[in-house]
Structure 1
Amino acid sequence: GERLGVSQMHVSRLISRLLGRLREGMLATN
């Protein structure tokens, strides 16, 4: 259970980073 919880938090952070990069890229292109 602990591993799953940590993995979920890690994944959420990675997704947030990806979304941030995508936003920056879109803003830059636009």
Structure 2
Amino acid sequence: VSGDQPIYNEDNTIAIVLNGEIYNYLEIRQ
């Protein structure tokens, strides 16, 4: 795994930075 950000989960639906914040958390909550 490289140090590039953002980091995606296996199906590229969630982008995560090193602090664990989920970029599209608003979409997930809906």
- TM-score, normalised on structure 1? 0.23
Task: Choose between structure 1 and 2: higher strand proportion.
Answer: 2
Higher RCO structure, 1 or 2 (CA under 8 Å, sep 6+): 2
Larger radius of gyration between Structure 1 and Structure 2? 1
Task: Choose between structure 1 and 2: higher helix proportion.
Answer: 1
